[in-house]
Structure 1
Amino acid sequence: MTGEGHIIFAIASAIFAKRAELTPVLAQADWWHLVPSALLTCLLPDIDHPKSLLGQRLRWLSHPIARAFGHRGFTHSLLAVAAGLWLFQINLPQSSPIPADVLQGLTLGYLSHIVADMLTPAGVPLLWPCRWRFRLPILRSQKGNQLERALCLGLVGYALWFPVGMPSFGANGWPAQLFDTLQNGVGRLISSHSAQ
């Protein structure tokens, strides 16, 4: 997927997550926290590709990551998401924490990239280092792909149309419980590591 597609997909994901109230934090999130934070990380997984939009600007970081993991390796896995959550929580001083809606927006932007890449024929290795690729190949990776743009803009339209707080997705639904469980698990891991 192109950088443009990832940006539009991240916007659609942020709008949908807030309107669907995927978590209690996202239900109450400030739009000015949620959308920019999702946009900050929506291109980050492609840091492993030196010719990507972000890789061209951060070559000093992109080349070593590409050599170590290859394109669509570690950075496109759930392990990378967990590592990112851990880094955000371990390096924050208690006096100035990042607001919860910003942290969930950053995570949402990163996850939106991974989900969007699952729509391409190459797929993503969600369970890296296992090499299994997860994919639903409805998009072809061509520059200027009109289908990609139409799909992503259609998702923005759907997210804007989506009724606020649908019962199956509400703040007490399974997505909220899954997201909160992951966040609490990372928090407990950090606490136990800090205590030692």
Structure 2
Amino acid sequence: MTAEGHLIFSVACAIFSKKAELSPELAHGDWWHIIPGALLTSLLPDIDHPKSIIGQRLKWISQPIARLCGHRGFTHSLLAVIAGIMLFRAKMPADWVIPPDVMHAMIIGYLSHILADMLTPAGVPFLWPCRWKFRLPLLNSQKGNQLERVLCLFLVGFAIYWQQGAPIIDSLHLQSLSELLRTITSI
């Protein structure tokens, strides 16, 4: 997925997360904290690729990670999410506090990147170091990013439209998840 796709997808995930009240911090959080927090970390897993947007800016971090783990390795796993959460909890100075809603949004942004990469044929090793690839290949990067852009913008629009607390399928007036998938892939 492209950087543009990851950024748009993270906005959709942040909106869904707040409306679905995934945590009390997100449910009662400020939109001005949640959206920037998700955007801030939505490209971070690609630090393992020196030619990515973030990898080009932080080559001194990106190149060693790429050599050690390769692209879509550790940084695209649940273990990286857990390590990041533990790092923030253990190493932050007492006077430098990230608001809880921002912290939760940053986790959503990071996870949105991993989820978005699961939509590609390459998938991700979500349970790294186990090499199993988790994927639901709806997007094929060889066909350009038009489908990716349309899908991500559709998800943002739907996230805005979705009424908090309503089942997603009922919101779409569809009979089944398979009908939802057919609708998305026919765009």
Maintained 8 Å contact 1:47/1:55: yes
Cα distance in 2, alignment partners of residues 142 and 99 from structure 1: 40
Instruction: Identify the residue that residue 39 of structure 1 maps to in structure 2.
Output: 39
Q: What is the CA deviation profile of residues 100-158 of structure 1, one whole-angstrom value per residue up to 9, with x for unaligned ones?
A: 10110110000000000000000000110000000000101237410000000000011
Instruction: Identify the residue that residue 28 of structure 2 maps to in structure 1.
Output: 28
* Superposition map of 1:88-167 within 5 A: 88-142=88-142, 144-166=144-166
Instruction: Identify the residue that residue 57 of structure 2 maps to in structure 1.
Output: 57
Cα distance in 1, alignment partners of residues 144 and 98 from structure 2: 36
Instruction: Identify the residue that residue 8 of structure 2 maps to in structure 1.
Output: 8
Deviation at 1:27, TM superposition (A): 0.6
Instruction: Identify the residue that residue 73 of structure 1 maps to in structure 2.
Output: 73
Cα distance in 2, alignment partners of residues 64 and 165 from structure 1: 44
User: Which residues of structure 2 form unaligned runs of 5+?
Assistant: 169-187
Maintained 8 Å contact 1:47/1:54: yes
| Letter paired with 2:142 | Q
Deviation at 1:166, TM superposition (A): 3.8
Maintained 8 Å contact 1:20/1:166: no
| Structure 1 residues 167 and 95: CA distance shift in structure 2, 3 A | farther
Deviation at 1:20, TM superposition (A): 1.6
Question: How many equivalent pairs are there?
Answer: 168
Instruction: Identify the residue that residue 179 of structure 2 maps to in structure 1.
Output: none
Runs of 4+ in 1 over 6 A off after TM superposition: none
Say which is worse superposed, 49-58 or 130-139, in terms of deviation.
49-58
Identity of aligned residues (%): 67
Say which is worse superposed, 140-149 or 71-80, in terms of deviation.
140-149
Q: Which has the higher contact order (CA 8 A, sep 6+)?
A: 1
Q: What is the CA deviation profile of residues 47-85 of structure 1, one whole-angstrom value per residue up to 9, with x for unaligned ones?
A: 001111111111111111100000000000000000000
Cα distance in 1, alignment partners of residues 96 and 43 from structure 2: 26
Cα distance in 2, alignment partners of residues 167 and 24 from structure 1: 19
| Letter paired with 1:60 | W
Q: What is the CA deviation profile of residues 155-186 of structure 1, one whole-angstrom value per residue up to 9, with x for unaligned ones?
A: 00110011123479xxxxxxxxxxxxxxxxxx
| Structure 1 residues 145 and 96: CA distance shift in structure 2, 3 A | closer
User: Which residues of structure 1 form unaligned runs of 5+?
Assistant: 169-196
